[in-house]
Amino acid sequence: MLLTKKASGSVRKSGGFINNVNAALGTVDRRGFLKRSGMVAGAGAFASQLPFSMVQKAEAVPLAEALAAGGKIEVKRTVCTHCSVGCAIDAVVQNGVWVRQEPVFDSPINLGAHCAKGAALREHGHGEYRLKYPMKLVDGKYKRITWEEAYNEIGDKLMKIRKDFGPDAVYWVGSSKHNNEQAYLMRKFVSLFGSNNCDHQARICHSTTVAGVANTWGYGAMTNSYNDMSNTKCAMYIGSNAAEAHPVSMLHMLNAKENGAKMIVIDPRFTRTAAKADQFVRIRSGTDIPFLFGVLYHIFSNGWEDKTYINNRVYGMDKIKDEVMKKWTPAAVEEACGVPESEVYKVAETMAKNRPSTIVWCMGQTQHTIGNAIVRASCIVQLALGNVGVAGGGTNIFRGHDNVQGATDVGPNPDSLPGYYGLAEGAWKHWAKVWNVDYDWLKGQFASKVMMEKPGMTVSRWIDGVMEKNELIDQDSNLKAMIYWGHAPNSQTRGTEMKEAMEKLDMMVIIDPYPTASAAMPDRKDGVYLLPASTQFETSGSATASNRSLQWREKVIEPLFESRPDHAIMYQFAKKFGFADQLVGKRDGKQNVKVVNTPQGEEPVVEDILREINRGAWTIGYTGQSPERLKAHMRNMAAFDVKTLRCTTDVIDEETGYNINGDYFGLPWPCYGTPELKHPGSPNLYDTSKHVMDGGGNFRANFGVEREGVSLLAEDGSHSLGADITTGYPEFDHVLLKKLGWWADLTEAEQQAADGKNWKTDLSGGIQRVVMQVHGCHPFGNAKARAVVWNFPDEVPQHREPLYSPRPDMVAKYPTHEDKKAFWRLPTLYKSVQQKNKDISKEFPLVLTSGRLVEYEGGGDETRSNPWLAELQQENFVEINPKDAEIRGIKNNEFVWVMSPTKSKIKVKSLVTERVAQGTTFIPFHFAGWWQGKDLIDKYPEGAAPIVRGEAVNTATTYGYDSVTMMQETKTTLCQIVIA
Amino acid sequence: MARMKFICDAERCIECNGCVTACKSEHEVPWGVNRRRVVTVNDGKVGERSISVACMHCTDAPCMAVCPVDCFYKTEEGVVLHDKDLCIGCGYCFYACPFGAPQFPQAGAFGLRGKMDKCTFCAGGPEVDNSAEEIKKYGRNRLSEGKLPACAEMCSTKALLGGDGEVIASIYQQRVKRRGKGEEVWGWAMAYNRKDAKSAAKQEVKA
């Protein structure tokens, strides 16, 4: 039936203003949006696709109220803080208030696109539920105090603990939400305090990736980029739910798909990512190795491996082949992970016949007791197919937080100084020199030289640092104080034990924009301090996205309420501790980092901190990314190609006069040499088809030059484009340079600085310059990747059942590791826990796994306090298969208890769904604020509780840690579910 | 004059709700009022698809037809808008709308309806463009600034397209061609002979 209009409606006229608001705001008009929306083919196809003349030019009208108010309108370019994709945002600020956000269509990374979190970013400018001023717990209630009181009381107490129990009695959890400069300063701060007891989210995020992947081929980072995925012909997501965890990355994948790329998703859950796949394969949680080696079995059986590539660039593949063909037959694979041969074959065939193919993984692979081995199995598949160092290939490892890559690279890691230098004497001496700090003074800050060089505890295990018997821990004292500096507690496992640990501490300090669940979890009467930190929108600095590109954030607004930027708080604490001068490198009339006065007190200058990083982090090429270059990139984003990330024409930045021609967007590390060398950054790692000065490379020589009589260096003819040395070679130092007769290529000043040094410690950058610019070689050498990592517990990746396994038969067949005594300073259990619980699946028959929701991030304190996001997910829930629900009489959307083998139980809503298979359950991990059925709202400071609270899945999770990095096992444990 | 339309590409929508919060943020839409939402079918199964839904700014809008106080009007660009000063909150438009677009604030003890609120295609209301009054009642007026709706501009995968119907149709058409599937859902064959729709559509394309 045709509806008849009652009236044709009045055609409305526009208002009388004619000023062009777009010109005032400098934002992009609708053409910009449509141009980027049409991006399905290569860059060249844009124009032909888009009939711009079809777009009606709108009559431009200004923001009337803005004009009326006479407010000053500014546009600040920043980057979303909610995941590692790095989506740019233009914040419109009027009279100092963040009034709007506009998409940045020019950003080559996100082309203006946002997920729910990015599109709701402006709420950070409201911060209604933030922690507003320093507070301390007095008789069970939070009371407001001043910053001065906070510094004095906390400072005195920490100094006393340091004096009585030693510097290792304080644990510092830093943050992947700090920018690079703050994360770096945090590592330095803890070093000056005299300890390695610091960590951040990477431990429980991708530590296994970093260790496993770096030990395979050199660097432990995403090899390619989100953008490069549009070049792939086949992508296999295994342990990644990108559609929820990295939504904007899907933009590039879906572009690839429209150009014919295949998409495979391997997961225990049918996720929203799986909904977009050509093939979905459901595996039993934690059986990634059987599956991946099952794929490899078919690759070898059909001769699909890249034999030339393996011969030239891979060490130990024969050993893998023997193991795979013997052990991982289709029958064994099906028995372990439940996938029939035909499906595994199809995956292998699709990956092999659609090269370049890529593998994407996230926490699904990393958060296991064997995470280090699982990620290596993925690397091995890619090496076998010759996919690494190729555009469209690689291992696209999606990191979590916005700066977890940067914080891993230069931040508070317990086992390394910035830049993966480690903790050996040489590393300390290198950084002491960069920091302009006396090495012997620094050594004196530590309990001893031994403790100075011993990796600290990890954030995943800090609770054991408090609770474990003193004689069993590998440091003098147990932990007495805990500083949570930008980290949620509900993201760590064993919640019930954590609560006990929190209650046992002498003092807890939470430095965060939000009180976080740490403020509410413990039943304490006193000894808790909450200090309001500013968000990344209230300061400036650089953040490293997952693809290793650095982006500079402008300060959007002044710090809200009484909050202060993290680096200012660090400096102000350092003053209290008496090492403020060392923190900013002030000695002998020199000062590395200037300090300025602000309404938030004294604050080190962020740009200067980055310059100090530039002067020290040679190992991973964090040396070329000067603040000036990064800012020029942010101002000229349109210059970079979406598919290659490169700028290929002369584009002169107006402010600096810097020509960005040749640069890759954000100077993805390694960006070697000094900024003046103008290395363009490395878009895809280990890519031999490019010259090193064009971002090319090869695998790193980091594991010696020979093993059991076999060379570890690349074969003849395998080298990066245009290299003077056309075979494998070791890493460069002054000796090798002299031997090759290249020493004379250094300037006199460089020679002076480089003598006795190598490419990592030569502060002049001369070695890197000569090796790359003059001779086209790679400073870290040219070697083979290792399929066999002999320094790991399992040199060939082995499947081992989780400690809490639903399959006693598989436990017998694939048992876990032996218990370890002192591992990251703590005894760590494997076999004893597994044996004790081998039949526990009778009582707790359901696999419990956890993961992300698109609306929330991490522990969720920030995002659950944002009304625009909170409205979309108001209750925590457990996904349960209809059959499992039916057996238990559970209906959809009713309260259930999830019972854990730890005797804890959590109350969540049921979501009866086929997303999970029978026998598997899933709970998102972002919730907190409830404790075993009880809402803790009264325990938060008034007005600062998140809008949405719920039960934390990690209240119910169990023991289990990776055998190399202490990654916690969150992806496979057991539970039982009953109606509440 | 351009004819403004939305289209949501179900092959691309990943149910990320970016469109929903973009709308909330741009217009400061209160809790409980959803001008836009994402609907998913076959959740958790092969064949799962999502689309983002809001007011479709119908050519022959049922809300306009039923409104007893005639508060709706259509702009030159085909955007269906309404006048909150005229709206009596009766809810007829809610019954008439096939998309559930009209929203009513849930205020008051007896479920008081209040003035209807819905997607404006980011084109405000009858007041002077971007006046304080207009922003308060209807939210921002992006069209008058030469921009397009915030939801579409910020869509994470460019699934939701909003703008001149001719332009977005051509973008969508190119995607369908490139994907080599999806054409079967269009055309006479689909309308009159479901079984043979796919092959018929292919023939149509070949021809």
- Residue A578: CB partners within 8 Å, gap ≥ 6? none
Residue A67 shares a structural domain with residue A100? yes
Full-model pTM = 0.93
Q: What angle do CA B69, B70, B74 make, to 5 degrees?
A: 155
pLDDT band at A459 (very low <50, low <70, confident <90, very high): very high
Residue A62 with chain B: CB contacts under 8 Å: 130, 145
Tell me the per-residue pLDDT of A645-686, one tens digit each, with 9 for 90 and over: 999 999 999 999 999 999 999 999 999 999 999 999 999 999
CA distance A359 to A349: 14
- Whether residue A935 is predicted with pLDDT greater than 90 in this model: the reply is yes
Q: Which residue has the tokens 């109606």?
A: A979
Pairs of residues, one from chain A and one from chain B, whose beta carbons lie less than 8 Å apart: 246
CB of A154 within 8 Å of a chain B CB? The answer is: no
pLDDT for the residue A951: 97
Cβ atoms within 10 A of the Cβ of B27, count? 21
* Mutation for A interface: B12, B147, B161, most A CBs within 10 A: B147
CB of B94 within 8 Å of a chain A CB? The answer is: no
Quickly list H helices, A259-395: 288-301, 307-313, 317-327, 330-337, 341-353, 363-366, 371-384
Which residues form the domain of A58?
A: 21-114
pLDDT for the residue B189: 60
Residue A557 shares a structural domain with residue A410? yes
Look up residue A657 and give its two tokens.
């006069």
pLDDT for the residue B199: 54
Q: Please report, as a single letter, which amino acid is at residue A900.
A: S
Please indicate, yes or no, if residue A645 is contained in any of the structural domains.
no
pLDDT for the residue B1: 73
- Whether residue A821 is predicted with pLDDT greater than 50 in this model: the reply is yes
Residue A872 shares a structural domain with residue A937? yes
CB of A27 within 8 Å of a chain B CB? The answer is: yes
Please indicate, yes or no, if residue B106 is contained in any of the structural domains.
yes
Q: Minimal Cα–Cα distance from B10 to chain A, Å?
A: 10
CA distance A892 to A368: 30
* Mutation for B interface: A37, A257, A276, most B CBs within 10 A: A37
Contact B18 A119 (CB under 8 A): yes
Tell me the per-residue pLDDT of A694-747, one tens digit each, with 9 for 90 and over: 999 999 999 999 999 999 999 999 999 999 999 999 999 999 999 999 999 999
- Residue A248: CB partners within 8 Å, gap ≥ 6? A85, A87, A109, A110, A113, A114, A115, A118, A226, B156, B157
Q: How many CA atoms does the CB half-sphere of A952 hold within 13 Å?
A: 30
Full DSSP string of A628-640:
HHHHHHHHTGGGS
CA distance A211 to A420: 11
- Residue A849: CB partners within 8 Å, gap ≥ 6? A268, A269, A285, A920, A921, A922, A970, A971, A972, A973
Tell me the per-residue pLDDT of A510-527, one tens digit each, with 9 for 90 and over: 999 999 999 999 999 999
The residue ranking higher by pLDDT, A549 or A67, is A549
Q: Give me the CATH number covering residue A599.
A: 3.40.50.740
**Structural domains in chain A (count):** 4
CA distance A659 to A453: 43
Q: Give me the CATH number covering residue B84.
A: 3.30.70.20
Residue A41 with chain B: CB contacts under 8 Å: 178
CB of B138 within 8 Å of a chain A CB? The answer is: no
Residue A391 shares a structural domain with residue A410? no
Q: Give me the CATH number covering residue A835.
A: 2.40.40.20
pLDDT band at B196 (very low <50, low <70, confident <90, very high): low
Q: Minimal Cα–Cα distance from B118 to chain A, Å?
A: 17
pLDDT for the residue B104: 87
Length of chain B: 207
Please indicate, yes or no, if residue B33 is contained in any of the structural domains.
yes
Tell me the per-residue pLDDT of B44-82, one tens digit each, with 9 for 90 and over: 999 999 999 999 999 999 999 999 999 999 999 999 999
* CA-based nearest residue in chain B for residue A92: B26
pLDDT for the residue B191: 59
CA distance A817 to B176: 52
- Whether residue A931 is predicted with pLDDT greater than 50 in this model: the reply is yes
* Mutation for B interface: A18, A46, A61, most B CBs within 10 A: A61
Tell me the per-residue pLDDT of A151-189, one tens digit each, with 9 for 90 and over: 999 999 999 999 999 999 999 999 999 999 999 999 999
The interface predicted TM-score (ipTM) is 0.91
Contact B126 A12 (CB under 8 A): yes
Residue A348 shares a structural domain with residue A434? no
For residue A894, CA distances in Å to A88, A160, A246 come to 40, 51, 30
Three-class secondary structure of residue A652 per DSSP = strand
pLDDT for the residue A280: 98
- What residues does A142 pair with on adjacent strands? A137
Please indicate, yes or no, if residue A576 is contained in any of the structural domains.
yes
Contact indicator for A253, A414 with CB cutoff of 8 Å: no
- Whether residue A26 is predicted with pLDDT greater than 80 in this model: the reply is no
pLDDT for the residue B38: 96
Tell me the per-residue pLDDT of B5-32, one tens digit each, with 9 for 90 and over: 999 999 999 999 999 999 999 999 999 8
Residue A244 shares a structural domain with residue A179? no
Residue A751 CA, chain-centre distance (Å), reads 38
Q: Give me the CATH number covering residue A307.
A: 3.40.228.10
Contact indicator for A952, A937 with CB cutoff of 8 Å: no
pLDDT band at A573 (very low <50, low <70, confident <90, very high): very high
Residue B152 with chain A: CB contacts under 8 Å: 33
pLDDT for the residue B158: 95
Q: Minimal Cα–Cα distance from A891 to chain B, Å?
A: 17
pLDDT for the residue B178: 85
pLDDT for the residue B177: 84
Contact B158 A111 (CB under 8 A): yes
Of all residues in chain A, the percent with pLDDT exceeding 90 is 93
Q: Minimal Cα–Cα distance from B195 to chain A, Å?
A: 23
CB of B9 within 8 Å of a chain A CB? The answer is: no
CA distance A883 to A889: 10
For residue B187, which phi and psi values (nearest 5 degrees)? 95, 175
Q: Which residue has the tokens 């906390």?
A: A154
- Whether residue A292 is predicted with pLDDT greater than 90 in this model: the reply is yes
Torsion, CA A874, CA A879, CA A882, CA A885, rounded to 10: -90
Q: Minimal Cα–Cα distance from B98 to chain A, Å?
A: 13
pLDDT band at B187 (very low <50, low <70, confident <90, very high): low
Q: In what order do the strands lie in the sheet with A198-199?
A: A141-144, A135-138, A528-532, A507-512, A481-485, A170-173, A198-199
Contact indicator for A307, A299 with CB cutoff of 8 Å: no
Residue A575 shares a structural domain with residue A458? yes
What's A200's DSSP letter?
Answer: -
Between residues 66 and 95 of chain A, which touch chain B (CB distance below 8 Å)?
68
For residue A801, CA distances in Å to A289, A821, A843, A902, B140 come to 11, 21, 18, 19, 56
- Helix H or strand E segment including A519: helix A516-520
CA distance A426 to A474: 23
CB of A22 within 8 Å of a chain B CB? The answer is: yes
Which residues form the domain of B55?
A: 4-179
For residue A591, CA distances in Å to A328, A594, A600, A657, A716 come to 59, 7, 22, 27, 48
- Residue A204: CB partners within 8 Å, gap ≥ 6? A367, A459, A460, A491, A492, A967, A968, A970
Tell me the per-residue pLDDT of A93-133, one tens digit each, with 9 for 90 and over: 999 999 999 999 999 999 999 999 999 999 999 999 999 99
Q: Minimal Cα–Cα distance from A103 to chain B, Å?
A: 6
Residue A313 shares a structural domain with residue A364? yes
Residue A34 with chain B: CB contacts under 8 Å: 148, 163, 167-168, 171
- Whether residue A884 is predicted with pLDDT greater than 60 in this model: the reply is yes
- Whether residue A64 is predicted with pLDDT greater than 60 in this model: the reply is no
Please name the member of B62, B76, B140 whose beta carbon is closest to the beta carbon of A3: B62
CB of A869 within 8 Å of a chain B CB? The answer is: yes
CB of A740 within 8 Å of a chain B CB? The answer is: no
- Whether residue A46 is predicted with pLDDT greater than 60 in this model: the reply is no
pLDDT for the residue A61: 34
pLDDT for the residue A6: 41
The three-state DSSP-derived secondary structure of A366-413 is HCCCCHHHHHHHHHHHHHHCCCCCCCCCCEEECCCCCCHHHHHHHCCE
For residue B18, which phi and psi values (nearest 5 degrees)? -60, -40
- Whether residue A918 is predicted with pLDDT greater than 80 in this model: the reply is yes
Please indicate, yes or no, if residue B21 is contained in any of the structural domains.
yes
CB of A888 within 8 Å of a chain B CB? The answer is: no
Contact indicator for A394, A387 with CB cutoff of 8 Å: yes
Please indicate, yes or no, if residue A640 is contained in any of the structural domains.
no
Tell me the per-residue pLDDT of B158-181, one tens digit each, with 9 for 90 and over: 999 999 999 999 999 888 888 877
CA distance A39 to A49: 9
In terms of Cα–Cα distance, which of A610, A527, A515 is closest to A567? A610
pLDDT band at B108 (very low <50, low <70, confident <90, very high): low
pLDDT for the residue B198: 53
Taking each helix axis from N to C terminus, what angle separates A288-301 and A330-337, rounded to the nearest 10 degrees?
A: 160
Average pLDDT over residues A250-258: 95
**Structural domains in chain B (count):** 1
pLDDT for the residue B184: 56
Residue B156 with chain A: CB contacts under 8 Å: 113-115, 118, 247-248, 250-251
Between residues 144 and 163 of chain B, which touch chain A (CB distance below 8 Å)?
144-148, 150, 152-158, 161, 163
In terms of Cα–Cα distance, which of B39, B2, B1, B5 is closest to B119? B5
Please indicate, yes or no, if residue A878 is contained in any of the structural domains.
yes
Residue A166 shares a structural domain with residue A268? no
Residue A393 shares a structural domain with residue A431? no
pLDDT for the residue A10: 39
Please indicate, yes or no, if residue B126 is contained in any of the structural domains.
yes
What's A773's DSSP letter?
Answer: I
Q: Minimal Cα–Cα distance from A272 to chain B, Å?
A: 6
Please indicate, yes or no, if residue A321 is contained in any of the structural domains.
yes
CB of A24 within 8 Å of a chain B CB? The answer is: no
* CA-based nearest residue in chain B for residue A121: B25
pLDDT for the residue A69: 54
Tell me the per-residue pLDDT of A294-329, one tens digit each, with 9 for 90 and over: 999 999 999 999 999 999 999 999 999 999 999 999
Taking each helix axis from N to C terminus, what angle separates A180-193 and A425-435, rounded to the nearest 10 degrees?
A: 110
Taking each helix axis from N to C terminus, what angle separates B165-179 and A249-258, rounded to the nearest 10 degrees?
A: 60
pLDDT for the residue A60: 33
* CA-based nearest residue in chain A for residue B3: A56
Averaged confidence pLDDT in chain A: 93
For residue A630, which phi and psi values (nearest 5 degrees)? -65, -45
pLDDT for the residue B113: 65
Please indicate, yes or no, if residue B202 is contained in any of the structural domains.
no
Torsion, CA B148, CA B152, CA B158, CA B161, rounded to 10: -70
Contact indicator for A138, A539 with CB cutoff of 8 Å: no
Cβ atoms within 10 A of the Cβ of B17, count? 29
Look up residue A132 and give its two tokens.
């507003």
Please indicate, yes or no, if residue B203 is contained in any of the structural domains.
no
Residue A29 shares a structural domain with residue A160? no
Please indicate, yes or no, if residue B149 is contained in any of the structural domains.
yes
Q: How many CA atoms does the CB half-sphere of A528 hold within 13 Å?
A: 28
CA distance B158 to B12: 7
Residue A375 shares a structural domain with residue A413? no
CB of A293 within 8 Å of a chain B CB? The answer is: no
- Residue A973: CB partners within 8 Å, gap ≥ 6? A802, A804, A847, A848, A849, A900, A901, A957, A958, A960
CB of B53 within 8 Å of a chain A CB? The answer is: no
pLDDT band at A17 (very low <50, low <70, confident <90, very high): very low
Q: Minimal Cα–Cα distance from A665 to chain B, Å?
A: 20
Of all residues in chain B, the percent with pLDDT exceeding 90 is 72
pLDDT for the residue A32: 53
pLDDT for the residue B12: 94
- What residues does A880 pair with on adjacent strands? A912, A921
* CA-based nearest residue in chain A for residue B171: A38
Tell me the per-residue pLDDT of A633-648, one tens digit each, with 9 for 90 and over: 999 999 999 999 999 9
CB of B105 within 8 Å of a chain A CB? The answer is: no
